[in-house]
Each structure stands twice: as structure tokens, then as C-alpha cells.
Amino acid sequence: MRSRRSFIAALGGASVASAPAFAQARDSLKIVSVEAVPVRLWTRSSQGRLPQFDGLYDPARWRYSGPYSQLASAIIVTIKTDQGVTGYGLGAGGAAAAEIVHGHLRHLLVGTDPRNVELLWEQMYMSGIYYGRRGVFVMALSGVDNALWDIAGKYAQTPIYRMIGGATQEKVPGYITNSDPSVGLDLGFEHFKLAVRDGLTEGRDGMLRTEKTLSEARDAIGPDRSLMIDCGCRWNDIGYTLEMARRLDPVGLYFIEEPLSPDNILGYQRLVNEVDSTLIVSGEHEYTQYGYQMLLHHGGTEILQPDITWCGGITAVRKIAVMGAERGLPIIPHRGSSLYGMPIVLTANAPLAESFGTGDAATDLMLAMSSPYKEGHYFATDKPGFGTEITEKMVHDHAGSSAL
């Protein structure tokens, strides 16, 4: 069985993203319009569906995320320039984030040069610190930032990964997030992650179901493939998590992801210090380099997992990758095989890229943002900017339920 902690040790020295390769051009380039549209990435999704609860203590009440969280609330930000260069940025936050873009951030963008990415990021971030240092505001900011980088890359006729340092690897092993291991096996994956459905509210019965599910998954994929779990914060108790880590030791997990609330940084610190059988990882729901500064200061994760589309965009995640490299920690971005995640995966110390579109019930819009995949690996694309196949028609054709 593959050693979990040796997975990191084998990575060697980390390469980090450098400053943008493009310089401030002397010619004029101005933003003329900014639009944000909530979109559907999957052909089927429960996001935005009205909840039905079985009483006050129904576990579903702890898990109802509403229409403004996760990838199911994706937005596409479209930024147009006076020279016909259009940038598309993936963000999140649904209609709430779209309103922030239209009612707030747009006024800091129209008439400016989109190549001033760092400057515009700082101005947008500072303009929202009284109400939006985390959550939906930063999800909106992420979509804008990614669209600005897309313009910069297209204008320079250069892929983003080359603009931020160049690839350190030609291809990256992928891992698939899917509840059915057979899907990943059929597609040629060697690394698998399952979402844990039971948590603290399900008690001992839930523990037993989790053990059974993961034991069956291990049997299905065999002893030499990597197996990981995403708890979705459902364990949310240090003692429960410590017991589950002991119970799952025979399964041979590479990592346990987000067992606790993202706000429980000291809890994560304790888990990192006390769990030896597997890695404890967090950060998918942390925001900007400032949030990561605190998470890493307290040693709250053993792998960095920012989502480029809601953590603050490429501008923020480049800085987060540097923080991780300084501490010898790898980075495995959430859904890193999206074309928005791959520039970080290719240029930083990233051992794996999480699936995005591969094996999903994906719309053509989602597939237009997915990296090339072959035989268990994701590959770079040499198209300018992020290299997506997004069109305005595609965005509006998939305007979705996250607008509820």
C-alpha cells in the first residue's frame, strides 16, 4: 500500500509561482463592460431546490447550503475591452456574487487597464473589507480576478501558466472525486476520493456505515491506489475525528479532508499533531492569502487546498502557493484540473490535480473549462489565457438555478 506521508517526502523541493511575465504595455487597453452570470456546471443539481426537513433535528438542516455556496453556485464573469479582447473568469456565490460584481466591483473596473491585475485586486479587496473579507464577496472577486488574468494572457498570446513561472511538469496525476470507484477505474485513475455522508449527527451508526463504505472502496480499487475522503465538515468534533482516524487506519487513507469547520483552526492544529495514520488537510473554504496566513501559522493543514475560483483568484492563490512552499507543504487545489486551477498545479508543488468535468454529469460549459485528460493524467494547454472554450452564448445558455 502506498505510504501517505512518504507521498509528500517524495516531492522534493518546491517550485513556486513567480511574478507575472508581462510588463505594463505602453499602448492603451481599457475595460468597457463587466458582466456576471450564475451558471449551471452539471446537467443535474439540487442547488437552489427548496428544502424539506423532517423536524428540527433532521441532520439535513446542518447540511442545507442554500444557493450561494460551492461549485453549484458558479458564476462566469465576462470582461470586455475596447480592443476586442474578452476575458472569462470562473467564480462562485450565485446571484449574490453577481450582484456584488454589478453593484460594486464593476465601478472599479470600467475604464481601467485590465493588465494592472495586482493593483485592481488590491483596490477591490480593500473596497470590501468592511463587509466581505471572506465568503461571497471573495467568490465574486475571484471571478473578476480570473477574468482579468484571462485578458492579460490573451492579449500577450501566452498561457497563464507561462506568465506565472512556467510549468515544472508536463503532466499531473489526477484524482477523481466520485462516490462510485468504478467510474474512476473505468477512466484509468490511480487516485480516488469519496465524500463521507455520515457525521457527528449520525452517531455510532454513521461511524459503522463510513467504515463499511470505505472498506468496500479499498477492496474495489486495490491496495496500491490512493484513497482519500472529504468529510464536508460533517464530523465537526475533535474527539469524533480522532476516533474515526483510528477506525479507518486499516483502510490506508492518504488524507482526511475538512473533518471540522474551517473556522476551527486550533482544532485542525490538534488533529495534525495527534493523527499519525494519515494526513489532515483543510483550506478549500479558506479565503485569500490573509486567511491562509493564519491557517498556516497555526499548522492547521498538511496540504494546501485553495479553490482558485473562490479563494481570491490566481492573484491570491499564487501567494498562497509561495506560503506553502516556504513551509515545505504541497498544494492540491480544489478541482485543480479545471483550466483555472491548472496554472497553479503546473507551476507550484502540486502532486495531484482533482477532477473537474471528468466523470461528472457535466454540461458543455463545464467541459469547456476542463483540462485535457488521458490515462490518469491531466495536461497543460498552450492556448492563450486560461485556454477555455467558453463563449458568451454558452454562458447565457447555461444561466442557472443559482440565480434563485
* C-alpha closest to that of 234 among 213, 208, 216, 258: 258
| Residue pLDDT, tens place only, 89-102 | 999 999 999 999 99
Q: 4-18+162-390, what's its fold?
A: TIM Barrel (3.20.20)
Q: Quick one: average pLDDT of 130-155?
A: 97
Q: pLDDT tens, 301-325?
A: 999 999 999 999 999 999 999 999 9
What is the second-level CATH architecture of the domain 31-158?
Answer: 2-Layer Sandwich (3.30)
Distances (CA, A) of 79 to 18, 85, 105, 130: 25, 9, 12, 25
Distance CA 346, CA 351 (A): 10
Active-site annotation holds for 297? no
SS3 per-residue string spanning 279-310: EEEECCCCCHHHHHHHHHHCCCCCCECCCCCC
- State the average pLDDT over residues 148-161: 98
Band the pLDDT of 51: cuts 50, 70, 90. Answer: confident
Single out the catalytic residue among 191, 334, 377, 398: 334
Q: Where are the domains of the chain?
A: 4-18+162-390, 31-158
**Residues in a beta bridge with 373:** 378
Residue 402 has pLDDT above 70, yes or no: no
> Rounded to a whole number, what is the distance in angstroms from the first to the last CA of the chain?
46
Cα separations (Å) of 145 from 80, 237, 329?
A: 13, 35, 25
